[in-house]
């Protein structure tokens, strides 16, 4: 008998977004062609459709943008904090007004489900600008001494997994503290940054305060190495972060790095199973697992392993993979063919090393880049899938018997970005959290963000904090 609640597609209309056939670089308040005329195409991961042609910035363009930012810095930094706050408030309100448009755009260019861009990304983007607008005239009271000064020009390089949110994390505190910005978005997701450039013009932000330079790794390298950049902020892979650290070593540039992770999600035997399962799913399958702080290692107490895995498999069987613009979709497309290849390689390594792979039955679309939600059992700490950041919808399950063993296994990683604890005992939460070497520890939840809370890691997950009062310090001479 057919169910009375049969699935029906509920696609969001893409008509609200008007994507131009081509976009230039945004330098000194104007869109302009690259000096050498180079362009590249941005592709929708779910369909492989070419969305637009984008100007590709080179070293000469980086120099133009930095000079524009340096010129704008004189007047922008001299404005009273209350005046800078007005621009940030204006940007935040425009983002709210255009949130549906931006959510659809982000889904098209990134591949993540519309319900994530609409309900998670865009509200947080606006919230960060509102939050740092409130700090702009209170810097003397931020705890960094009297009269803290801006650094100058900030060179910022952001990843493709949360394009607009990472932009907000970087640009909002930089502008609030009186710095000017040259930002390089990821080459696979440049569109939301270019739409943000239009928002800057809509908000009448002074020319040169924000500059946007799409391009590849060489563009980011030229920006990081530019002698007139005072602050470098990077979110991305650990390998690239190490190269950036080498580049700025010996210079006077201030540096913050937010890099990879291999977060442990620890479930104790007294945890509420159904709640924990939802947290596990959110921890690793949100944004297809393409999250630096994903809970990609599930550490479950041995006595409840079977019960938890049965419940988890039932829940995974209800996840819907498909069109990211469908409001019912839970698992969208992988961002690029290159990333899909990396996920596939690491999963094949897990099978070859003896781990047991399981995925729910799901239909993979014929075009685009897709990977079914996957979990591995019989995993040891020696497996690559337990050590390497996969950055995909792949969960490795390990077991433990005692809290000390859970802590030891959780900390047995070169990374230190995030962790989760599931238990009914508040004393256990505090005791375990204090022993975990992770920048963010969630208790009985996962992947919860707020602009008032600092975020960052230890070890090979980078250094420095973004968000909250702590996020101001990276952009101030204190």
The catalytic residue positions are 258, 292
Helix (H) or strand (E) holding 398: strand 394-400
Task: Go through the chain and tell me how many residues it has.
Answer: 478
410's tokens? 């959780």
41's tokens? 């195409």
Q: CB–CB of 390/289 below 8 Å?
A: yes
C-alpha–C-alpha distance, residues 233 and 223, integer Å: 11
Q: What are phi and psi of 153, to 5 degrees?
A: -100, 125
Q: CB–CB of 109/334 below 8 Å?
A: no
C-alpha–C-alpha distance, residues 439 and 134, integer Å: 25
Class of residue 464 by CB neighbours under 10 A (exposed 0-12, middle 13-18, buried 19+):
buried
180's tokens? 């000017």
Q: CB–CB of 439/447 below 8 Å?
A: no
Q: Quick one: DSSP state of residue 447? A: S
Q: Quick one: DSSP state of residue 393? A: S
167's tokens? 């932009």
Q: Bridge-partner residues for 299, per DSSP?
A: 266, 398
Q: Is 459 left (phi over 0), alpha (psi -120 to 50) or beta?
A: left
Q: Quick one: DSSP state of residue 303? A: G
Helix axis angle, 122-135 to 81-97, nearest 10°: 170
Buried b (16+ CB within 10 A) or exposed e, 293-308: bbbbbbbbbeebbeeb
C-alpha–C-alpha distance, residues 281 and 315, integer Å: 8
* Residue where the block lists tokens 């408030």: 89
Helix axis angle, 163-176 to 191-202, nearest 10°: 40
């Amino acid at each position: 008998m057919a169910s009375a609640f049969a699935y029906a597609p509920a696609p969001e209309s893409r008509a609200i977004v008007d994507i131009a056939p081509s976009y230039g670089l945004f330098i000194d308040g104007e869109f302009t062609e690259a000096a050498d005329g180079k362009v590249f195409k941005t592709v929708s991961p779910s369909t492989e459709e070419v969305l637009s042609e984008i100007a590709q910035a080179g070293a000469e363009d980086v120099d133009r943008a930095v000079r524009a930012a340096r010129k704008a810095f004189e007047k922008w930094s001299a404005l009273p904090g209350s005046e800078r706050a007005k621009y940030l408030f204006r940007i935040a309100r425009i983002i709210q007004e255009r949130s549906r448009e931006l959510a659809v755009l982000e889904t098209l260019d990134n591949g993540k489900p519309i319900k994530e861009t609409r309900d998670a990304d865009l509200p947080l983007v606006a919230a960060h600008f509102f939050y740092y607008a409130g700090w702009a005239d209170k810097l003397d009271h931020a705890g960094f001494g009297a009269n803290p000064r801006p650094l100058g020009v900030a060179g910022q390089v952001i990843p493709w997994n949360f394009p607009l949110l990472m932009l907000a994390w970087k640009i909002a505190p930089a502008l609030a503290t009186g710095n000017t910005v040259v930002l390089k978005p990821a080459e696979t997701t440049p569109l939301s940054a270019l739409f943000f450039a239009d928002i800057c013009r809509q908000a009448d932000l002074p020319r040169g305060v924000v500059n946007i330079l799409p391009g590849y790794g060489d563009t980011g390298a030229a920006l990081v190495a530019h002698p007139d950049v005072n602050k470098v902020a990077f979110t991305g892979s650990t390998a690239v972060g190490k190269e950036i650290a080498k580049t700025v070593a010996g210079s006077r540039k201030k540096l913050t790095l937010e890099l990879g992770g291999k977060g442990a999600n620890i479930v104790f035997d007294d945890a509420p199973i159904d709640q924990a399962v939802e947290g596990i799913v959110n921890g690793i399958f949100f944004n297809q697992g393409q999250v630096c702080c994903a809970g990609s290692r599930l550490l479950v107490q041995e006595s409840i392993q079977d019960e938890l895995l049965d419940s988890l498999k039932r829940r995974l069987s209800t996840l819907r993979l498909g069109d990211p613009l469908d409001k019912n979709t839970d698992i969208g497309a992988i961002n690029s063919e290159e990333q899909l290849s990396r996920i596939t390689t690491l999963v094949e390594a897990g099978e070859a090393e003896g781990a047991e792979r399981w995925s729910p039955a799901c239909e993979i679309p014929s075009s685009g880049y897709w990977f079914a939600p996957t979990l591995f059992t019989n995993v040891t700490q020696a497996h690559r899938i337990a050590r390497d950041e996969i950055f995909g919808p792949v969960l490795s399950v390990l077991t433990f018997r005692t809290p000390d063993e859970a802590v030891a296994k959780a900390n047995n990683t070169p990374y230190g970005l995030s962790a989760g604890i599931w238990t009914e005992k508040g004393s256990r939460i505090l005791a375990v959290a204090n022993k975990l070497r992770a920048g963010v520890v969630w208790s009985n939840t996962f992947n919860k963000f707020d602009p008032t809370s600092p975020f960052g890691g230890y070890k090979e997950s980078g250094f420095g904090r973004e968000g909250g009062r702590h996020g101001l310090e990276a952009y101030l001479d204190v």
